[in-house]
Amino acid sequence: MKEATTEILFPKAVIERRVEELATQISLDYAGKELLVVGVLNGAFVFMADLIRALDVPCTVDFVRMASFGAGSVSSGEVSIRKDLETPVAGRDLLVVEDIVDTGLTLSRLVEILRERCPASLKVCAFLDKWERRRVPFVADYVGFSIPDAFVVGYGLDYNEQFRFLPDVRVLKDIV
């Protein structure tokens, strides 16, 4: 791996405080219910782990992995599930946890697929929201931070499977 230049966007302490705030709101919204928390792999696992530990409502967890097909790094807009849930969702309260909403294509398709499975409710919690890149209308129910159109890494987000381990979110400036 080549050396990279990064700049801290959200330090660990700011992230921890925001995760606690999100968990408090979600716990209030789902008081008296049990959640099925669905993490979108790979990027959401760090955020999701911190979020569920901060919840005050019981929950079970499962994961999906999505795939977008296209040439190179450009999405065709065709999105499918590469790893499906193992837990039935009919009649359950679902909370989808995603690392970042970018174009909105992946989450729009995932929500559409999950709604067809008849959950009691379905909401989305995104750690980061990059509004400037939206290609389809999509609004997450809970958002950690809105960010500018920059490539970010850390706290589960990666560049070529690197940087996920960083405890903060950083803007990747360049690879030297």
- Residues spanned by the domain of 50: 4-69+77-175
Torsion angles phi and psi, residue 24, rounded to 5: -60, -45
Domain holding 38: CATH number? 3.40.50.2020
3-state helix, strand, coil in the chain (%, to 5): 25, 40, 40
Q: What is the pLDDT of residue 173?
A: 87
| Number of domains comprising the chain | 1
Q: Whole-structure pTM over 0.85, yes or no?
A: yes
pLDDT in tens, 39-94: 999 999 999 999 999 999 999 999 999 987 544 444 556 788 899 999 999 999 99
Q: Which residues are catalytic?
A: 102
- Of residues 90 and 4, more confidence is placed in 90
As a whole number of Å, the end-to-end CA separation of the chain is 10
DSSP type of residue 104:
S
